[in-house]
Each structure stands twice: as structure tokens, then as C-alpha cells.
Structure 1
Amino acid sequence: MIQCKRVYEQAGPGDGYRVLVDKLWPRGVKKTDLAYDEWCKALTPSNELRKAFHSETIDFSAFSQAYREELARHADEGMRLAALAKKQTVTLLYGAKNTEQNHALVLADWLRHL
């Protein structure tokens, strides 16, 4: 199972394997305070794509499509996480304020379909 959670939420027993999926370390969080198992920068959006989305140069639909194209270039890393999610819960940790339109949700959907 794959789920998404903001880094600012408390870790819970149902989180399983916790993966930080932001390219930049989340603001206001000490590295010693975040409970996570790995920081997977390989599956994060490129800086250019991230900046275009946050500046509203592109909408969420265009961002999602472009991000999926970037993810396709890292299929091996995706397959590794997808395989892990078949054995245990994997929680993708993200820092975005928007809980309905963010890269972690696109990533989770992409991983579920590998």
C-alpha cells in the first residue's frame, strides 16, 4: 500500500516505510526530528518543473503530465519502491501545503501502476 502524508504530521504506527520525496529539505524541520527511512531525491520533480508549478506558469494537469514523463526516466527506482509497497505500507512524505494537488499524489499514483 502507498499513502501520502505531510512531513509536518506526526509519524504513526501505520506509516510503515517512510520516504521523503521532496528535493529540498522541508522548512522548519530539523533533520534529527523527522522520522523517515530514506530520502528519495531521484523521484522528485526537476527544479525547473517544480518552479514552473509553484509560480503557476503551468497548471496541475500540465505539471502532472510533465512529472510522469520525468518519472519514466527513473523507472528502476520506481519499481524498487513499488515492490516494497507490495510487501508493506510505504508512506510518501512531502512538505507542500496543498494536500489535494501536489507531486507526492502524482508519484503515488504512478507507483501504484508500475
Structure 2
Amino acid sequence: MIRVKRVYDPPTPDDGTRYLVDRLWPRGIRKDHLPLAGWLRDVAPSGALRRWFGHDPSRWEEFRRRYFAELDAHPQAWESLLAAARAGDTLTLLYGARDPEHNHAVALKEYLEARL
């Protein structure tokens, strides 16, 4: 099972293995206060794509298309997540964006689930 959760929300026992999937460290969070299995910077969208998207919901479909193309080109960035999900682990993808519906973690979850 793959879940997404805002990094600012408190951890819960049902989170399973938690991974930060943002390229940049979230503001206001100390590294020693965030329980994580890993910080997977390379699975996040490129800086250019992130800036172009700007969390504008009207660009969501095109963002997803471009982001999926980036993921297709760099399978080494996400293969470990897919392997863990296939093993039956619960994964929680942590993100810092404010919009819970239009962010790269939601798109990444969709991308990974399509490959399960």
C-alpha cells in the first residue's frame, strides 16, 4: 500500500515506512525531528518542472505528463520504492506542498501504483 502525507502532519503507526520525496528539505522541520527511512531527492520533479508547475491546478495534467516522462528516464530513482511496495510494505510518501490533491507525491503514487 502506498500513501501520501504532508510532512508537517504528525507520524502515525499506520504510516509504515516513511520517505521524504521532495527535492528541497521542508521549511521549519529539523532533520533530527523527522522520522524517515530515507530522503529520496532524485524521485522529485526537476527544479525546472517544479518552477513551471508552481502548484497551479490548471497545469496539473501537463505536469503529470512531464513528471512521468522524467520518472521514465530515471527508473533508478523510484525502483526501490516499487520493490518495497511489491514486498507488501506500507509506504508513506511525504511532501511539503500545501495542496493535498495537486502535488508531485500524489502523481508519484499514481505512477508507482500503475506499475505494481
- TM-score over 0.5 for the pair: yes
Q: Which runs of 4+ in 1 moved over 3 A?
A: none
What is the aligned partner in structure 2 of residue 82 from structure 1?
82
What is the aligned partner in structure 2 of residue 99 from structure 1?
100
* SS of equivalent to 2:18: strand
Equivalent residues in 2 for 1:1-114, closer than 5 Å: 1-54=1-54, 56=56, 59-86=59-86, 87-114=88-115
**Do the aligned partners of 1:79 and 1:111 also contact (CA within 8 Å) in 2?**
no
Q: Which amino acid aligns with 1:102?
A: N
What percent of counterpart residues are identical?
A: 42
* SS of equivalent to 1:93: strand
Q: List gaps (5 residues or longer) in structure 1.
A: none
Provide the rounded CA distance (Å) in 2 between the counterparts of 1:19 and 1:38: 5
Q: Give TM-score scaled by structure 2 length.
A: 0.91
**Between structures 1 and 2, the one with greater helix share:** 2
* SS of equivalent to 1:72: helix
Q: Give TM-score scaled by structure 1 length.
A: 0.93
Deviates more, 1:87-96 or 1:71-80: 71-80
Q: Which amino acid aligns with 1:88?
A: D
Provide the rounded CA distance (Å) in 1 between the counterparts of 2:112 and 2:9: 22
How far is the alpha carbon of 1:55 from its aligned partner?
7.1
**Do the aligned partners of 2:55 and 2:99 also contact (CA within 8 Å) in 1?**
no
**Do the aligned partners of 1:3 and 1:91 also contact (CA within 8 Å) in 2?**
yes
* SS of equivalent to 1:5: strand
Deviates more, 1:68-77 or 1:32-41: 68-77
Q: What root-mean-square deviation, in Å, do the aligned CA atoms of Structure 1 and Structure 2 show?
A: 1.3
How far is the alpha carbon of 1:76 from its aligned partner?
3.2
Q: Which amino acid aligns with 2:42?
A: A
Q: List gaps (5 residues or longer) in structure 2.
A: none
